[in-house]
Amino acid sequence: MNLPENLRYTQSHEWTRVDGDIATVGITDFAQNELGDVVFVELPSPGRQLRQDDIFGSIESVKAVSDLISPVSGEVVEVNDSLTADPSLANQSPYDEAWMIKVRLETPSEIDGLMSADDYKGFVEE
Amino acid sequence: MSEQADLKRTPLWDAHRRLGARMVPFGGWDMPVQYATGILAEAKAVRTTAGLFDVSHMGRLEVHGPTAREALESLTPNVIGKLALKKGHYTLFLNERGGVIDDLIVYCQEPNLYKLIVNASNTEKDCAWIQSHLPAGSVLTNRTPDTALLALQGPLAVTIMAAAGAPEASEIRRFERVAVRLFNNPAWAMRTGYTGEDGFEIQCSATSAENLWNALLRVAGPNLVPCGLGARDVLRIEAAYPLYGHEIDDDCNPWEAGLGWVLKKTEGFIGAEALARLKESQARQLVGLTMETRSVARQGATVLAGDRPCGEVVSGTFSPNVNASIALAYVDRDVTDETLTVESGGRRQNAARTPLPFVDLPVARKKKPAGLTSTASL
């Protein structure tokens, strides 16, 4: 299981990468593997205000559909249109090409409450 | 974990685990839903090269004895008496209300011996149903545990059978059941499958199953992809083949499901009287839908004509061969709209009514005129 050390993780299998006041959000390698072939991703429009734990979209595989849950609060400033055009990126490149949204952090301390790579590894192996 | 302990395992369970299959409970069995390749690649392989499925979970029953024919004649609406030796046909078990207890294939193995292949989830129900209607002189046996059933499906199926030592398999006709030797081991080959592609269902002993599975994959190399139940479901939806629990169930009649062609008799079988009454009063029709987005319309989603709810989705998937989300839905009989709406989880999307099947099926293509093929067969 690929779990980059520099990311933070949620129990609903999103990852977050922080650069200054921007948080980039996607789903983990574990999540894409559990879903199987991803065929559809629905993302919000830029400008949408999110609170932590808001549903910001959905992801569907042949077999399942799953909500996407925001790890942080803030405004969506950018959305990955390449991913909605080619949802299979979520399987091929979950931490890189398949990033989903960029959020301008409103409450940076929320990051501290997210799991480290080690904590998340322990969580999914439970 | 405790519920998994009750699941049955096919003779190929170890082979699936070794191939990295993802296992799921299905009809009481622990079955591969997909391998590392993934459902979409597997479903594509079956329409371009070939796929290999373990369908050993399906019930293999035997009705044996001097009254076997009359027993099955009274239990099914297709004409058992017309089955030549080694030939089979698709048929149904119907209840007294004309509802579908199960769909199945019946083969006439010997004059007094019929082989039945039924749905895994219905095997016990079917056994009880047959048993309760079995006349004196016939015996029902469940052969599922002693044997394995593999499905080799796709345009290269004949080539792979030849490579396995059975070039004569190309001569086996649709729904014919013939003894073959594959890698020098005895097996039964049937020219059937549930994908709409050419291919075979191969029955062998439980003990020889894993060797046969591995040898087929070895001899065919990259042209044969192990396929799980996920791909099987995609392929049967593309082909618009009904699956019990989706398009058919105990409360649905054969006409609604598009299975009127199976009803070759008008009397002399359970359900005949009810069907005679039902024929004129079908309330709904089964339609094909191609979705506007790639979002999958799943079982239970509401179908609307304009703003009026008019039915529901019974099967839906993403089809890699159509490259779109497709669905089968029951809608009211009077609905003629070419564009419908599907609603699930509060979201709506348009769906274009699509003729069935969704893909061009080799098994449904018109045969060439006899004159063109006669030289090739001699």
- CB nearest A36 (choices: B34, B293, B345): B34
Mean pLDDT of B292-306: 97
- In this predicted structure, the answer to whether residue B266 has a pLDDT above a threshold of 80 is yes
Give residue B237's identity as a one-letter amino acid code: I
Residue B206 tokens read as 């439980």
Looking at residue B54, what is its pLDDT? 98
Beta carbons of B19 and B35 less than 8 angstroms apart? yes
Looking at residue B278, what is its pLDDT? 85
Q: What are phi and psi of B146, to 5 degrees?
A: -80, -15
Looking at residue B283, what is its pLDDT? 87
- CB nearest B293 (choices: A37, A40, A62): A40
Give residue B225's identity as a one-letter amino acid code: V
Looking at residue B376, what is its pLDDT? 32
Q: Where are the beta strands (DSSP E) in chain B?
A: 22-26, 29-34, 51-54, 59-64, 88-94, 100-110, 113-118, 139-142, 147-153, 177-182, 185-190, 199-205, 225-227, 284-291, 302-305, 308-319, 324-332, 339-344, 347-354
Domain B1-281, CATH homologous superfamily name and number: Probable tRNA modification gtpase trme; domain 1 (3.30.1360.120)
Share of chain A above pLDDT 90, in %: 98
Residues of B in contact with A63 (CB under 8 A): 33, 39, 230
DSSP B167: G
Beta carbons of B303 and B331 less than 8 angstroms apart? yes
Q: Is A42 on the interface with B (CB under 8 A)?
A: yes
Beta carbons of B41 and B238 less than 8 angstroms apart? no
- In this predicted structure, the answer to whether residue B292 has a pLDDT above a threshold of 50 is yes
- In this predicted structure, the answer to whether residue A54 has a pLDDT above a threshold of 90 is yes
Domain B283-378, CATH homologous superfamily name and number: Aminomethyltransferase beta-barrel domains (2.40.30.110)
Q: What is the pLDDT of residues B112-168, one digit of tens each?
A: 999 999 999 999 999 999 999 999 999 999 999 999 999 999 999 999 999 999 999
- In this predicted structure, the answer to whether residue A4 has a pLDDT above a threshold of 50 is yes
Mean pLDDT of B285-293: 97
Residue A100 tokens read as 């989903």
Centroid of chain to Cα B364: 15
At which residue do the structure tokens 């969506």 appear? A76
Verify whether the Cβ–Cβ distance B294 to A39 is below 8 Å: yes
B59-64/B88-94 β-pairing: unpaired
Beta carbons of B305 and B334 less than 8 angstroms apart? no
Looking at residue B356, what is its pLDDT? 96
Closest-approach residue (CA) in chain A for B318: A62
Residue B39 tokens read as 């459902």
What residue spans define the domains of chain B? 1-281, 283-378
Position A81 confidence tier, pLDDT thresholds 50, 70, 90: very high
**B177-182: strand order across its sheet:** B177-182, B185-190, B199-205, B147-153, B51-54, B225-227
Looking at residue B281, what is its pLDDT? 67
Task: Please give the domain boundaries of chain A with CATH numbers for all domains.
Answer: 8-106 (2.40.50.100)
Position B375 confidence tier, pLDDT thresholds 50, 70, 90: very low
Interior CA angle at B190 toward B189 and B194, to 5°? 130
